């Protein structure tokens, strides 16, 4: 007999599988000897009341053994002589598209402008220490995409777009902990993701697929409203029947190329704001009602906040408990900040993007740029932010209350951002339509989370790469561009995903669409 149960346990109880089994037996009203196994299905933290608890869903096997927990791995056939499909970008959309294409009998040829995860780390180190921005190898570009050295959050609201459980199984098959199939908010961590990404690349190559680094698409040829070929910076011209465009949200040169070649694209709303950083102990005390020490059985606390200010949403984005703020610029002369956490989430800081919805009315000064107008506004704000910080990767910063009250911060808190910070009047330096809404949002957040609105926190600018400011249209049925046969916009860059999991699911959808088109 198998019974599904939901157990409510104190944090120290949830840490012991023996205690979980005992509580399951008590809830069932049976002797613990009759339990052959108790399998965790889901776990989450409930901090709504003063006593923080874990809610754990389990399957209890009574008088019968549990089935083997391991799942059958996916079999990837050899595709070395199969029909090729070219994929631009090796982020989650590109990698999952490649693996799914292999399952379907196609040979993926992945072209990545950046370096592999090992070499990419060296360029990120230079970005931190010397403020040197490699335009093709940074936090946004390189093997694994923007998520690899960002954070590794694996939850999504886009479950209708694909098989979420399947995505998790693929990740586990390539080295992720099976915990990601159980946790309500699964997270791998930037310290572990590179090995998983490398394992996926090795799998692609092992069965005859190709992955080429430091290979950037610089031109696209269209003949008879069909994709014909692409050119790389090395002078190679590659004939293409199917081209998967999985370039990520920061590939401005790709949008420029598409526009130049007459491929229909369009400006789209995105979000822009700042990173706010608090002491993690402060967020823990607010969320867990625990004073200054959450204890060893609770993870670093997170939060999610939203306010409506002057008709726009102001909300937290990519909250990183126990994390770090990192430089995410993709070109010299711009400053962009993002957040990340390792698997342990052990930093003494908590940070989150706090962003404002950006709409068409905001980019009208660039209306003559047509579909690139929103991108131009984004770039302008990043350049202005760079100047506020002093012209390199130093981030302009301001204490939180000072920002809201319009005061220059005479001193700043310690910070996780390695390139360094400089005091700046962000209440004046950010565009008024953004600054005023952020100020209103922070006031509202302070009412929802007592203690959040404090000068122990400070903001760094600018959080601007929340999503792509350009959409590449595609047909809902075929997933091809509506006017260019064989061109498959895919993932976050063209506007069809918003994170690792949704991008991975979109990659698989595009792979299936290619198979169905043949």
pLDDT in tens, 1-57: 899 999 999 999 999 999 999 999 999 999 999 998 898 889 999 998 889 999 999
Answer whether residue 69 shows pLDDT above 90.
no
Q: What is the pLDDT of residues 419-450, one digit of tens each?
A: 999 999 999 999 999 999 999 999 999 999 99
In which region does residue 155 sit, left (phi positive, over 0), alpha (psi from -120 to 50) or beta (all else)? beta
Pick the CATH number of 2-62 from 3.40.50, 3.30.70, 1.10.760, 3.40.1130: 3.30.70
Class of domain 84-265+472-517: alpha beta
Helix (H) or strand (E) holding 340: strand 337-340
Q: In what order do the strands lie in the sheet with 306-309?
A: 306-309, 312-320, 349-358, 270-279, 458-463, 395-399, 421-423
Check residue 471 and give its pLDDT.
98
More confident position, 290 or 186: 290
Average pLDDT in the 68-86 region? Answer: 88
Q: What is the model's pTM?
A: 0.92
**Tens of pLDDT, residues 131-177:** 999 999 999 999 999 888 766 667 665 555 568 889 999 999 999 88
Backbone φ and ψ for 233, nearest 5 degrees, come out as -70, -15
274 neighbors 463 (Cβ within 8 angstroms): yes
Q: How confident is the model at residue 67 (pLDDT cuts 50, 70, 90)?
A: confident
Instruction: Find which of 122-131, 181-190, 340-349 is predicted with most confidence, using mean pLDDT.
Output: 122-131
Q: What is the torsion angle, in degrees rounded to the nearest 10, for the CA atoms of residue 331, residue 332, residue 338 and residue 339?
A: 110
Mean pLDDT estimate for the chain: 94
**How do the domains of the chain map onto residue ranges?**
2-62, 84-265+472-517, 267-463
């Amino acid at each position: 007999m198998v019974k599904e149960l939901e157990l409510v346990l104190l944090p120290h109880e949830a840490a012991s599988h023996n205690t979980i089994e005992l509580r399951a037996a008590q809830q069932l009203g049976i002797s613990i000897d009759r339990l052959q196994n108790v399998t965790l299905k889901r776990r989450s933290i409930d901090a709504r009341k003063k006593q923080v608890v874990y809610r754990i869903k389990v399957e209890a096997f009574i008088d019968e053994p549990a089935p083997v927990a391991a799942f059958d791995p996916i079999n990837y056939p050899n595709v070395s002589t199969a029909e090729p499909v070219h994929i631009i970008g090796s982020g989650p959309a590109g990698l999952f598209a490649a693996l799914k294409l292999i399952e379907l009998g196609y040979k993926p040829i992945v072209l990545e402008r950046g370096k592999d995860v090992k070499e990419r780390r060296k360029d990120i180190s230079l970005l931190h220490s010397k403020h040197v921005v490699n335009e093709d190898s940074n936090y946004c570009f390189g093997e694994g995409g923007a998520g690899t050295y960002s954070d590794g959050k694996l939850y999504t609201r886009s479950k209708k777009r694909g098989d979420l459980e399947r995505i998790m199984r693929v990740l586990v098959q390539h080295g992720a902990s099976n915990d990601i199939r159980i946790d309500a908010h699964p997270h791998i961590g930037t310290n572990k993701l590179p090995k998983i990404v490398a394992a996926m690349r090795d799998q692609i190559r092992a069965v005859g697929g190709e992955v080429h680094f430091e290979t950037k698409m610089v031109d696209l040829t269209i003949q008879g409203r069909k994709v014909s070929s692409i050119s790389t910076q090395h002078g190679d011209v590659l004939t293409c029947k199917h081209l998967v465009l999985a370039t990520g949200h920061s590939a401005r040169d790709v949008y420029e190329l598409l526009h130049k070649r007459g491929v229909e694209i369009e400006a789209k709303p995105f979000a822009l704001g700042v990173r706010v950083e608090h002491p993690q102990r402060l967020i823990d005390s607010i969320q867990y009602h625990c004073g200054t020490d959450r204890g060893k059985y609770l993870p670093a606390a997170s939060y999610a906040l939203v306010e409506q200010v002057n008709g726009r949403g102001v909300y937290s984005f990519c909250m990183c408990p126990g994390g770090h703020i990192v430089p995410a610029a993709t070109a010299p002369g711009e400053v962009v900040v993002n957040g990340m956490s390792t698997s342990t989430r052990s930093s003494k800081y908590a940070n989150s993007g706090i962003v404002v919805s950006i709409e068409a009315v905001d980019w009208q000064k660039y209306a003559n740029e047509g579909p690139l107008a929103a991108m131009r506004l984004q770039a302008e704000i990043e350049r202005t932010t760079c100047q506020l910080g002093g012209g390199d990767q130093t981030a302009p910063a301001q204490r939180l209350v000072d920002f809201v009250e319009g005061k220059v911060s005479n001193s700043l808190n310690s910070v996780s951002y390695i390139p360094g910070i400089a005091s700046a009047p962000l209440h004046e330096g950010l565009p008024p339509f953004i600054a005023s809404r952020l100020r209103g949002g922070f006031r509202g957040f302070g009412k929802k989370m007592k203690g959040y609105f404090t000068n122990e926190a400070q903001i760094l600018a600018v959080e601007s790469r929340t999503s792509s400011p350009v959409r590449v249209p595609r047909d809902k049925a075929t997933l091809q561009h509506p006017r260019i046969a064989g061109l498959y916009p895919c993932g976050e860059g063209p506007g069809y995903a918003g994170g690792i999991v949704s991008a991975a699911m979109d990659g698989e959808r595009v792979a299936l669409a290619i198979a169905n088109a043949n």
